[in-house]
Amino acid sequence: MTESLAVAFRVDASTLAGSGHVMRCLTLADALAEKGARCYFVMRQKPGSLESAVRSRGHHFLMLSSGGTEKSARRSESEPPHAGWLGVGWEADASDTLQALKGIELEWLVVDHYALDYRWESKVFVCCRRLMAIDDLADRRHQCDLLLDQNLGRKPDDYDGLVPGHAKQLIGSDYALLRPEFSRIRVMSLEARQTREPGNILVSMGGVDATNVTGDVLRVLDTIEAISAYRVTVVLGAACPHIDEVREQAESMRLDARVVVNANNMAELMSQADFAIGAAGGSAWERCCLGLPSLLVVMADNQRPGAEALKRAGASLSLGWPDAIEETLPRAISDVFAPGRLLEMSQNAAAICDGLGVRRVADALQEVSDE
């Protein structure tokens, strides 16, 4: 991808959407920038928009006005199920996006937003040569040249009738958008798990954790005698509204617990942990790359298929919804302490994702551009 080419990303971070969509787009943008592309992020003004993360990595940031209040439900049956996440109608968002990108000759526009579908994509297509859709749900039509769904268990025919016939599909965890740091320390992480004695737990419930599931997990962990000698590392995103509360809770725990906010060494923290308790979102693929067994909490409906697929693959155990943790977490910890269980789960996880997905996706963008 030559230096003259520009790529724009239409993506949001917010309380409802979390931060994962922006973070995976940043990973792809970094890879494209290494190939010489100029990357632009078009984002609607919301609390926790991650503007500083975009700018700190050298990308251009184009802010759309805040719009209305996010809602968890769609306004009508004709809209995508997550349409309320946008804060405005799709027509207004498309117009705002076109205005923000005016004068920029785009090779690619990448859209990663559950609230947007083929109607929005068709309207904005005039500003770009190619369009890529990133999806996890297969619940709406797309008008795109390239589709990415990085989820384990997803099949191309899940998108039958949802994408144009010419669209190239990148399906499955081979295309998971992980930062290079994960593939770099993968071998070291996997080798260390073969011999060391377990003693470290990682708790990471996503970048926002608006309802403080982290606090619920810590409360239950502190009652489990079998892990009384373990160290617990809690990772919170800078947008989490409960940082002070979790810090106070960690300080008062019987367990040795520390809180890390906005970690810049996530791969290292995961490699040091013997198992993780986490949300069943995009970070699940990071854990798989490093062979880190997971106890997964389902934080939203769209996380259920991924959690079930990882459980079937033997890489994780499911804790269900947050309100079930008090019952399911002690039972799951007893399970992972069975002889050989952690190593078995680690090997199963490592087989799912090698951490090189972002390279494959960047190459696919180049190939489609060259057609």
Structure tokens given for 206: 């996503």
Query: Residue 186 and residue 267: Cα distance in Å, rounded?
Result: 9
Query: Residue 68 and residue 46: Cα distance in Å, rounded?
Result: 10
Tokens 């998971």 found at: 176
User: Does 327 appear as a known binding residue?
Assistant: no
User: Does 219 appear as a known binding residue?
Assistant: no
Phi, psi for 65 (deg, rounded to 5): -60, 160
User: In this structure, are residues 107 and 127 in contact, taking their beta carbons and an 8 Å threshold?
Assistant: no
One-letter amino acid for residue 289 of the chain: C
Q: Catalytic one among 21, 59, 82, 113?
A: 21
Length of the chain: 371
One-letter amino acid for residue 262 of the chain: N
Provide the angle, in degrees to the nearest 10, between the axes of the packed helices 20-34 and 357-370. Answer: 60
Query: Residue 324 and residue 72: Cα distance in Å, rounded?
Result: 22
Q: What separation in angstroms does the CA of 131 have from each of 119, 152, 165, 281?
A: 13, 23, 14, 24
User: In this structure, are residues 328 and 319 in contact, taking their beta carbons and an 8 Å threshold?
Assistant: yes
Structure tokens given for 271: 């490699």
The closest alpha carbon to 346, from 283, 271, 235, belongs to 271
The closest alpha carbon to 360, from 150, 107, 166, belongs to 150
Q: Specify whether 242 is catalytic.
A: no
User: In this structure, are residues 134 and 25 in contact, taking their beta carbons and an 8 Å threshold?
Assistant: yes
Annotated binding site: 179, 286
- Residues flagged as binding site for substrate: 179, 286
Active site residues: 21
